[in-house]
Structure formats: C-alpha cells, structure tokens
Amino acid sequence: YEWSQDRPGPGAPPCPSPCQCEEDGMFIMVDCSEMGLSSVPASLSPLTTYLDLSMNNISEIQPRAFHRLHLLSELRISGNQLRYISGHALQGLHNLKVLMLQNNQLERLPGDAPWDLPNLLSLRLDANLLSEVPAEAFRGVRSLRHLWLDDNSLTEIPVAALDSLPSLQAMTLALNQITHIPDYAFNNLSALVVLHLHNNHIQTMGSKCFEGLHSLETLDLNYNDLREFPVAIRTLNKLQELGFHNNNIKAIPEKAFVGNPQLQTIHFYENPIQFVGKSAFQFLPKLHTLSLNGATQIREFPDLKGTTSLEILTLTRAGLSALPLDLCEQLPRLRVLELSHNQIEDLPSFFHCSALQEIGLQHNQIKRIESSTFQQSTSLRALDLSWNMIGWIHPDAFASLHSLIKLDLTENRLSSVPVGGLGGLTHLKLRGNTELYEAFSPDHFPHMRVIEMPYAYQCCVYGSCDSYKPAGQWDTEQSTNEELHKRTVAVYPVHADTHYDPDLEEFQLEIEEAKLQTSVQCTPTPGPFRPCDSLL
Amino acid sequence: QHKQLSGVTSGCQQGGCLTCSDYNGCLSCKPRFFMHLERIGMKQIGVCMTSCPPGFFGTRLPERNTCTKCRSECDSCFNKNFCTRCRAGFYLHLGKCLENCPDGLIRSDTQRECV
Amino acid sequence: LESERPALRAVIKVTLIKEPTGKPIVLEGLFVGGSAGKAEGKLMQYHPLSLCNNSEDDPPESDFITIVKLERTVTSCLPLLDKARMALAKGAQAVIFDISDDDHAAAELPDTDSLPRPVVLVEAEDAEELMGLVNKNEEARVVIEVKMESKWPFD
C-alpha cells in the first residue's frame, strides 16, 4: 500500500491524524501503527475497511470505540498494552474478518458478555497472559476458522470454549503449560485440519482425547513430556503429518498407526525408544521416510507390508541380526537404506531395489558378499561396508554397480577385492584389511580422487613416491584434504621473500587446471619410514 | 567500527529490535517478536515485528520466533501446509489453494474460495 | 616441518552496474583454505541469520556473489564453514565475509579444500567500501581473482 497523510480528495473519507491512509475505491484503509497513540483515534470513518493500530501504547479500548465501523474487515491492535477487552469495546464490527490482538498483556477474555463478531475468521490471541478461557468466550465468533492461542499461560485445553467453534480449521495451543489432554477435548471440531500442541508439558492423554477430529491432517506434539505412545491418534484417519519428537516415549506398540493410512511423515526422534512392535509401521502406503535410531530392543526387522512408498529407511543401533529375504519386494522404491550398528550377518539380494542409491551397513557382522547381493543395483552410488568381518567377495559381486562412486570396506578381513564394475569410483577405502597386499593399478579407477590403502607402498602406483622429497618435507601426517592444495602450491611455490610474479592470466589458468586435475589422494603416504618398496 | 546498539537507532528504527547494526538491521528481537529477513534490492536486513508480512507465517519457539515463507500459491497462511488466503487464480478449500474446486463447490473470485 | 599453508590473497574488482565502463574499484581480501579461484557476479548482501538451517528465501535469478557482514552479537546458528557452504549451495558464485566486527571468524575457518567455489574474508577499508555500496543499494558487479603475494599481514 502507498500510505500517505495528504488531504483526501473531495468526497473521500477523512484520514484521522496522525495516521496514514490509502483509498480503496470509496473505502479507506487506515494505518496508525507505531505512532505512540495511547487510545483509539476518535474520528474514524464508517467507510474504513482496514485499521492498523499495532505497536502503540494503547492500554484500554473505550466502549463503542468501533461501533460505527460496520464495514471494517481487518483490525490490528497487536503490540500494545491491553489487559482486557470487553464485549462492548468491539460492538458494531459486524463485518470483521481478521482481529489481531497478539503481543498484548491480555489476562482474561470476556465470559459473561463475549465479543459479538459473527463473521470473524481469524483471531490472534498469541503472546498474551491468558491462563484460562471462559466457557462462553467464543460464543459470538462461531464462524471462526483460525485461532492462535500459543505463547500464553494456559494449563488446560479450553474444552468448553472450543465447543462453540464448529468451523475451526486451524488452531495452535503451543508454548503453554498444558499437562493433560482429556477425552473428547476437541469433540466438536470436526473441521479442524491443523492442531499444534508443541512446547507444552503434556504427560498424559485420554485414549479418546482426539475423538471428533474427523478432518485432522497435521498433529504436532513435539517437545512435550509424553511417556506413552499417543494411542489416541487411532481415530485420526485423515492424519498426514504427525510429530512427537523430543518426548519421553520408550515404546511404539504393535499396529501403532493402524488407524492412520494417510500418514506421509512421522517425526519421533529424540525419544528413548527401546521397543518397536514388528507390525507398528505396516500399511502406511504414503509414508516415505522412517527413521529409528538406538531402539536396542528391536531384534527383528519390522514388517513393512503395505508401506510400499518408503524411500528412506534408517534403522541403526538396534539388535537386527538378519534382513528379510523379500525386503526389496516390500520396499520397491527404497532409495536410502541405513542399517549401521546392528548385528547383521547375511545380506539378502537387493535385486528388486532398483532405486537404491545409498546403503549403510557399517558396524555389522557381515562375512561374505555373494554375486547376487548387489546384482542389478545399477543406481547404487554409495556403499559402506566398513567395520564388518568380510573375508570373501564374489568376483562378480560389484559387476553391475555402474553408478557406484564411493565404496568403503575399511576394517574388514579381505585379502583381495574384485575390481570389475568399480570403474566409476572416486572414493575407495580399504584401510585395516591387513591381509590385503595387492597394489591396484590406477587404470582400474580412472576417476579415483581419494583412496585409502592398508599399506603406504600401495600408494606408490599413484605417483606418491615421485613427489617424495628429502626428510623435513613429508614427515608430518598430512590430512588427506591438504593433498590437493599442496600439489597446487607446489606447481607455483609461494616464497615469502622473493617477488615471484608470474603472468597473472597464466597463473589463473594454472590454478583452475590444478583444481580440475583429478590427482589422486592416496594414504597412507609413503615416507622415510614407509618406503615404496614393501618391507616384506 | 560499526555500532551494535540496543533498541531503536539509526538504520533500525522499529520498536521490536533488541540489538541491531546499521548494515544488517535487527540482529535480535525483543521477546515474543518475530524476526523477518527482508530483502530490499541488494540489501537484506533483519526486521522485528508482531506479525509476519503477507506471504509469510510466524513460528513461535522457546528460543526464537521466525517468519517463514508460505507456499507460492498462498497470499497468507497458518503454516507451511495450511493457507488462509490464496493468490489470484487459486481458490481456498480446507487450507489448500486449488485451481479447481471439489465437486459440489464453485469458485468465488471475490473471496478466492470454493463456496 | 611444512609451514602452515601460505594464504592466497584475493583481488576484488567492483564495477557499478549503472557505470559499466567506469574504472573498477580494486579491493583485496584473503581466500579461505583451498578455495582460491576466479568468480564473477552481482553483489548481494545476506543477513547473518539467513545462513541458518531453518532459513529459506528465493535466491536471485542471475549469478550473484554473496556478501555477509558478520556480527559478534549474533548467536551463530552454524559454524562459519557451514554458512559458507550454505551460501554456495544457495547458488552464490562466491562468498565474501566482512569480518571487521567479528575477529574470531578468521580463526574459526579450518584450512580446508572442501569449498567448491571461492570464499573470501575482507575487513577494514576494503570491507567498508563494499558494505558502503550495499548500504546505499548501489548495484555492482564483482570479479574475484587470485593475487600472488606474501602471507596476510594481519596474522
């Protein structure tokens, strides 16, 4: 809006001083924000449709202050010092749709003669000092759709008051001190789509506390003190987004989400979850991410029958010892599989997981890799098998991994590694395979950038020995990240004392080319005590 | 040495600022105010407000209150997935901005709603 | 012992968009770690808080170079290296950090090679010149190049 203080044209409604006004056809929009006002301007035109009184020093609204403003659609009084607003103060606002009262000091709402705002759609009461809401408070705002009550001092759900709001679609009660949700707390809110209850102290909930919420799609219970899984969600058959992270829940029961087939996201990290029912995550056809970390009592892989859209599955630090043979049939769209820190010994074939891009199996007890394990895993880009007990890999095991760029086999028991199919690697880690003596020719890995070998001499094929310099140049353990830049600087040594000033353009190109060169960083770097010739 | 001042100073005049600097505007807000990062040409300054500007919604958290952009088809919204008013050409139904209304409802261009 | 890697200096040439043929303002800075390289783009300021996990904004369409004035009082939501990466991930051709008011910043940046595009630290008059343009909303194009010289005198 182009607010201005100029005298309005002939016939235009007057602009109250010191406010700024904007004509809206025959109507007028008035901005009196941040003008140090201590009361509502008196000479407001009946043709006012928008009035902003925010960020002033208004501590009281005189009765009938707005009684002529039948056409007012939006009233902003946020950021003032209001402690109470009587029903009479808002008399006459028949057409009001948006009322903003946030950031005041409201301690109570009128109960006996509540506000009469029949067309109000949005009511902001957030950031006030309300410790309760009278049962009749919302009797005059029955058309309300959006209600903000967050950041107040409520200790209970205002159940009786909410009964007057059959059209409510979105509500936040976050950042209060609510400890319990009773049964039928929201029984009349059949149109509610979004309910935020995060950052309260909710410890317990009635098993029927969400009865009546037939349209609920988003439920946010994050940052509370829940000790039990909220079984009350069972009635929410439209639920799409559920959050209860940062609570105190120790178990997710069998068939936990049987009543929520529409679920797309479930956030429950930062809970001391030990047990997860095998059938807990069944029949969730729209779920695309499932993350479980540290649930030590999980012994069996969850039964994910009917959860066919899962793309990211993280199940780490549990007690898994085996994977279902039909894992990929159950999860055909799996893209990321992260199963580190379990006790998995044998791997199924990932044949039907054609979308699989990342597999994390580090810190398990895998002993062998068969030819079928990664057959047809043509999308696989990163495979982490480090810290296992792998002693044998079938010669064709990696044959079809055309997209693989990162392979980590650190700390296994390998004496040989089949290179067929690994031509695309940029990162290969074999450190800790003490029986692996073979030096792999760079020809196998034309795109290699970072390679870690068990012994320094195995890096000599990567020219590490050519750049080997007398003592004093190489004897510090260089971190692999340094290596690329050292080669750059080595090309144009920088000497503090001499003014070596090559042609700048040529120097720029050298810098760029040095970065593009895929010089291989091979560690451990050979040195005086790690010569290129094998000591054996 | 640029002054880091509290409250209202040149370059960051609004009342919600707790600390601010001439170049970045508000660096932190008073309690219960929302921090909004406003882009004006090549500049981006912090602004503290009691309600986020049109096209943004406010999220209150214990440690800070921030303004976040609504979905592109919303003029205003309650949260990322729930619009309260749609852009021209879209019609509001249960928090969603649709190009076409569900069966049984018709498009109201004045209200931009399915009615 | 191999001495600490010598820091490469940056030459920053600034041309006002409204005076494309005008003489460029030439400033200097210090490349972070191995990020030395050439970059060019329109200068765009970002608030320090815009480089945090929960922040999202529409990146400018054309190629741009981000400048961020760091402030000691802004509680850092991410390590500076992650802020640099986030700025580059938002599409910046390079990132310039004005560390005039945050003397810890330089120490916070490890000697790393993992930055895909140039990240430069500026302070004092060079920073003042750049931020002066920003404050007056004087749209400018910036070219960053590597300058060959001894170590950053301020160490």
Does the pLDDT of residue C34 top 90, yes or no? no
Q: How far apart are the first and last CA of chain A?
A: 82
Q: What is the mean pLDDT of residues A456-464?
A: 83
In this prediction, what percent of chain C has a pLDDT beyond 70?
A: 83
Does the pLDDT of residue A483 top 50, yes or no? no
Q: Where are the alpha helices (DSSP H) in A16-165?
A: 159-162
Which of B24, B47, B64 is the best substitution to test chain C (most C C-beta atoms within 10 A)? Answer: B24
Q: What is the mean pLDDT of residues A62-82?
A: 95
Quick check: C36 contacting A, CB < 8 Å?
yes
Quick check: A193 contacting B, CB < 8 Å?
yes
Compare CB distances from A507 to C33, C148, C151 and report the shortest one's residue.
C148
DSSP letter string, A289-330: EEEEE--TT--S----TT-TT--EEEEESS------TTHHHH
CB crowding B84-98: b at 16 or more within 10 Å, else e: bbbbeebbbbbbbbb
Asked whether the beta carbons of residue C101 and residue B35 sit closer than 8 angstroms, the reply is: no
Compare CB distances from A481 to C36, C113, C146 and report the shortest one's residue.
C113
Structure tokens belonging to residue A160? 């009786």
Asked whether the beta carbons of residue B4 and residue C101 sit closer than 8 angstroms, the reply is: yes
- Count CB-CB contacts under 10 A for residue C107: 9
Top pLDDT among A293 and A234 is at A234
CATH classification code of B74-114 = 2.10.220.10
Residue A282 CA to residue A258 CA, distance in Å, equals 7
Cα four-point dihedral sign B65, B71, B74, B77: negative
Top pLDDT among A234 and A493 is at A234
C49–chain A nearest CA distance, Å: 23
Does the pLDDT of residue C9 top 60, yes or no? yes
Find tokens 């049939």 and name the residue.
A329
Find tokens 């178990």 and name the residue.
A251
Domain boundaries, chain C: 9-146
User: What's the topology of domain C9-146?
Assistant: Glucose Oxidase; domain 1 (3.50.30)
A136–chain B nearest CA distance, Å: 25
C137–chain B nearest CA distance, Å: 6
C44–chain B nearest CA distance, Å: 5
pLDDT at C3: 34
Top pLDDT among A175 and C111 is at A175
Reported as a single tens digit per residue, the pLDDT across A42-66 is 889 999 999 999 999 999 999 889 9
pLDDT at A297: 83
Which of A473, A475, A482, A505 is the best substitution to test chain C (most C C-beta atoms within 10 A)? Answer: A482
Does the pLDDT of residue A153 top 60, yes or no? yes
Find tokens 């976050």 and name the residue.
A174
Strand partners, C119: C95
Top pLDDT among C108 and A397 is at A397
A169–chain B nearest CA distance, Å: 7
pLDDT at A389: 97
| pLDDT bucket at A417, cuts 50 / 70 / 90 | very high
Which of A478, A481, A506, A510 is the best substitution to test chain C (most C C-beta atoms within 10 A)? Answer: A481
| pLDDT bucket at A234, cuts 50 / 70 / 90 | very high
Against chain C, the chains showing at least 3 CB pairs within 8 Å are: A, B
User: What's the topology of domain B4-69?
Assistant: 2.10.220
E-strand stretches of B22-112: 25-29, 34-40, 43-49, 56-60, 65-69, 74-79, 82-86, 91-93, 96-98, 107-108
Is the previous residue joined to A18 through a cis bond, with omega within 30 degrees of 0?
Answer: yes
Q: How far is CA A178 from CA A188, A192, A389, A460, B61, in A?
A: 20, 19, 51, 66, 16
Lowest mean pLDDT among A178-192, B43-57, C16-30, C109-123: C109-123
Kindly tell me the burial class for residue A10, based on how many C-beta atoms sit within 10 Å of its own C-beta (0-12, 13-18, 19 or more).
Answer: exposed
pLDDT at C2: 31
- A24 near A2, Cβ under 8 Å? no
Cα four-point dihedral sign B61, B66, B67, B69: negative
Does the pLDDT of residue C64 top 70, yes or no? yes
Residue of A nearest to C118 (CA): A512
Residue C65 CA to residue A406 CA, distance in Å, equals 32
Does the pLDDT of residue A481 top 60, yes or no? no
- Kind and range of the H or E run holding C10: strand C9-16
pLDDT < 70 positions in chain B: 1-14
Domain boundaries, chain B: 4-69, 74-114
Against chain B, the chains showing at least 3 CB pairs within 8 Å are: A, C
Quick check: C87 contacting B, CB < 8 Å?
no
Residue A419 CA to residue A407 CA, distance in Å, equals 11
Q: What is the mean pLDDT of residues A365-371?
A: 96
Does the pLDDT of residue A238 top 60, yes or no? yes
The B96-98 sheet, strands edge to edge: B96-98, B91-93, B113-114, B107-108
- B50 near B34, Cβ under 8 Å? yes
Provide the whole-model pTM.
0.83
